[in-house]
Amino acid sequence: MELIIKNGIVYDPLNGVKGEAMDIYVKDGKIVEKADGSKAQVIDATNMLVLPGGVDMHTHFAGPKVNLARMLRPEDHYKDPQRKRGVRRCGTGYSIPSVFTTGYWYAEMGFTLAFEAANPPLKMMHVQDELNDTPLIDKGAYPVFGNNWYVMESLSKGKIEECAAYIAWVLSAIKGYAIKVVDPGSVEEWKWGKGQIGDMDKQVENFGITPKEIVRGLAKVAKLLNLPHHLHIHTNMLGNPGNSEVTLETMKAVKDLVTNGELLIHMAHLQFHSYGGKEKDWNSFRSGSEEIMKYINKNPYVSFDMGQIAFTDTTTMTADGPFEYNLYEITKNKWMNADIEFETGSGIVPIEYKRDNFVHSIMWAVGLELALLSKDLWRVALSTDHPNGAPLTFYPRVISWLMSKKARERVLKLIPSSARSKTLLGSIDREFNFEEIAIITRASPAKLLGLKEKGHLGIGADADIAIYDINPKALDPERDYRKIRKAFRFAKYTIKDGKIVYKDNEIIEHFIAKTYWVNPHIREDLYNYINSELERNFDKYYTVKISNYKIPEGYLVKSKRIDIITKL
């Protein structure tokens, strides 16, 4: 199929295109230099905004915890039922939509790639099942390792290569993409009746290793394996007053490991880790974004996604079991917990973020402050940590807040004055332009993920394109923020792999796109050693056989394997 998008106003930051009226040519699912006009389908995009397909690098939409949340919250399913219409399959959900609905919602917003951000390796078959059913977006998954027994045992003995070989084996076996760390060491402690670990130098009982050592060890492992995406960290003490100190300590812990100006760590949903104040003293709760961003702006080895909240009813879910139990005790809402053998633990609690709540109002301001204070947007990605901060359908609202101080001030006037005084947001005049929005929703997350064919419209890129029915040359984003919000919620066209999949509020194609995963190649002797070690561990500890742990490549509907030459 050939396609020509005529005369659109294009923003393509990775290729230096800043609002130029130009044509884009597509053939066989790729951006090409020229197409045969006599054979091609033509879209007239005159006075319309044209961007690469959106990239969500941190979201939760598939796998065991998401499915547990769906069971925990039947009330979430009747809010916005999706009826079968044409090729569009039926579905349900508001904060935890079913798989078909998830793919459709992303397509409606012009997003074409999303990464499921926290998965227990033992349950990756479930994750892959749901990825196989999620239509119209490419996807991938990050397995969690920060409380994994084998990881902690090998790192505590200084066996970095052995730990790297284990992680390489797991990533390949279960078809994962990157190393995710959640609350390192703290989940393991909590399983044994201990509290959260806020001291990065406190040893994890039974393992003789500290959270700081876990982070440092896994940062070394990511470098040894040459993974396309650097270490993805959910730091300790999420959601607690004063946790900005733990966040700063975590970032500083790996600074000496940086070589050649590389990106080394990605701070997940940073809003939830950027609070000032004193531990357990909610009256002292305040924004800690200024301290956090001073450090990140001076240290180019750190990237982050926002984790923005919105004032709505949603569902929190994370492999940070201790945090979820604390949230349950605070809110008295429903709570569900799952311990995945000796790999990780998770929790799920519904929450409603309210404008008149002192803490929630500060949280709302903090996420926006982090992005607006950033001096290098190429290390920033938009996220709501869907659904933890808000459902993914709130991304357009977040975009409007970033582009319009007027839109922010409208909300600031509605939150408690006591909360306003504990934030910086009212004093920040910065407003993002369309190029900057294209960076944090497309170009930057694609680059941070190491996917050269994504996030841009250059020759050879995947033909993932979003067209929005707004003229960026004629709009004043500060004044017209409602138009911005509406346009980004419902694209005019979404094109995936060169096919028009969404047009004028209708899904017109339903197919399953690629699943990305990494296949790190290590020395044969090291592979044989780790394989024999794991066979013994599986016989001793696991409730499944090692042969049932592995997922064959053919299990994926459309596999996109990335072979990696490691340093092992």
Q: What is the DSSP string of 313-334?
A: EEEEEESBHHHHHHHHHHH---
Would you list the domain boundaries of the chain?
51-500
Longest C-alpha distance within the chain, in Å?
Answer: 70
CA of residue 219 relative to chain centroid, distance: 19
List pLDDT tens digits, range 334-388. 999 988 888 899 999 999 999 999 999 999 999 999 999 999 999 999 999 999 9
Beta bridge partners of 338: 346
What is the Cα–Cα distance from 311 to 357, expressed in whole angstroms?
A: 10
DSSP letter at 17 equals E
Q: Residue 125: its pLDDT value, please?
A: 96
Q: Is the pLDDT of residue 40 over 80?
A: yes
Q: Is the pLDDT of residue 82 over 90?
A: no
What is the Cα–Cα distance from 313 to 234, expressed in whole angstroms?
A: 23
What is the rounded average pLDDT of the residues 438-467? 98
Cβ neighbours, 10 Å, residue 291: 15
Q: Residue 80: its pLDDT value, please?
A: 75
What is the rounded average pLDDT of the residues 544-548? 92
Which of the following CATH numbers is that of domain 51-500: 3.20.20, 2.70.70, 3.40.1130, 3.30.70? 3.20.20
Q: Is the pLDDT of residue 329 over 90?
A: yes
List pLDDT tens digits, range 16-34. 999 999 999 999 999 999 9
β-pair type (180-182, 111-119): unpaired
Q: Is the pLDDT of residue 240 over 90?
A: yes
3-state secondary structure of 246: helix
Give me the residue label for tokens 């929790």. 347
List pLDDT tens digits, range 265-283. 999 999 999 999 998 899 9
Q: Residue 261: its pLDDT value, please?
A: 87
What is the rounded average pLDDT of the residues 284-312? 98
Q: Residue 243: its pLDDT value, please?
A: 97
Q: Residue 294: its pLDDT value, please?
A: 98
What is the rounded average pLDDT of the residues 460-480? 97
Question: Which region, left, alpha or beta, applies to residue 58 given φ > 0 means left and ψ of -120 to 50 means alpha?
Answer: beta
What is the Cα–Cα distance from 106 to 532, expressed in whole angstroms?
A: 42
Confidence band (pLDDT; 50, 70, 90) for 39? Answer: confident
List pLDDT tens digits, range 114-129. 999 999 999 999 999 9
Confidence band (pLDDT; 50, 70, 90) for 36? Answer: confident
What is the Cα–Cα distance from 133 to 140, expressed in whole angstroms?
A: 13
Q: What is the mean pLDDT of the chain?
A: 96
Confidence band (pLDDT; 50, 70, 90) for 37? Answer: confident
Q: Residue 342: its pLDDT value, please?
A: 80
Q: Residue 221: its pLDDT value, please?
A: 98
What is the rounded average pLDDT of the residues 200-208? 94
What is the rounded average pLDDT of the residues 430-451? 98
Q: Residue 1: its pLDDT value, please?
A: 81
